[in-house]
Amino acid sequence: MRGKIAVLFVLLFLFVNAVGAEVINFNVKPENPMKGEDVTIYGEAEPEEELRIEISFENVVLVKDNKYVFSVEKMKIPEAENRFTVRAEGCDNQKVSVRRFILGISTPWITLSSEASEGVSKITQANVPAGTYDVLVHGSSSEGSVRLIITAEGYEKADDAGKFSYGYETTPLPVGTFIVQAGNMTKIVTLHSSPPSNGRAGGGGGVAPETTPTPTATPAPISFISIPMFLVMVVIAALAAVVIIIAVLRKKK
């Protein structure tokens, strides 16, 4: 029994150290980014360590006729492991609709939906295929506004010297304050529509204080059919239609 307890403590110790041994330091450049600029998150960690990079922002959307809508156009998703979460507070329900652009042609809209629990709805999708997307967050609400918290997670591996770099395009993002987290460190970055008058962004590059989130009852994440599988289904349906048409024409002959 004591041996089992000792093994358990060793495993727990290894797990805690694996989680805690993360980023030594990191920075964001440019320090005062403007909308449309590419932002690079770079820093130093343990050699060859895989780091979780998280970028989140909030947006308050006004409700009109019991409806709310927020859109992001031409958002580029790189080829890498990822996870996206949209949390809506003050809503009755939430829908996240996406369409992907392939060779400049958009696919049909695919929609995730979730009913709110105590005014909160949360939708999560992992491993979104690389590509360019239009994203529409919408739904109904009996409140005057809905608070959206959108979080994008990606992973980057440090090289053998412990250096890492992660790029993010800001063109589709709204101006405002973003929380950037690399490993166990957090910084606040302000995205501007034009250069700040005093040459410094409010809170840019500063370390955010640690906060304890308030637990909120939310529905389980909803998964949906992947876009590549949807396209395969469309192609199969089209081929089936062609076969039927050919068969009909042969019978007429």
pLDDT in tens, 159-174: 999 998 888 788 888 8
Whether 200 maps to a domain, the answer reads yes
The total number of structural domains in the chain stands at: 1
Residue 118 gets the label, from left (phi > 0), alpha (psi -120 to 50) or beta, of left
In this prediction, residue 62 carries a pLDDT of 97
Number of H helices, E strands in the chain: 2, 15
Whether 244 maps to a domain, the answer reads no
User: pTM score, two decimals?
Assistant: 0.67
Whether 198 maps to a domain, the answer reads yes
Whether 166 maps to a domain, the answer reads yes
Q: What is the largest CA-CA distance in the chain?
A: 85
Q: Are 71 and 59 in contact (CB under 8 A)?
A: no
Whether 89 maps to a domain, the answer reads yes
Whether 13 maps to a domain, the answer reads no
Exposed, middle or buried by CB within 10 Å (0-12, 13-18, 19+), for 15? Answer: exposed
Whether 252 maps to a domain, the answer reads no
**Closest by CA position to 72, among listed 53, 86, 82, 90:** 86
Rounded CA-CA distance 139/146 in Å is: 10
In this prediction, residue 247 carries a pLDDT of 53
Which residues form the domain of 95? Answer: 23-239
Q: What is the pLDDT of residues 6-58, one digit of tens each?
A: 433 333 333 333 344 367 888 989 988 998 898 898 899 989 888 888 999 99
Can you spell out the DSSP letters for 63-105? -BTTEEEEEEEEEEE-SS-EEEEEEEES-SEEEEEEEEEETTE
Whether 202 maps to a domain, the answer reads yes
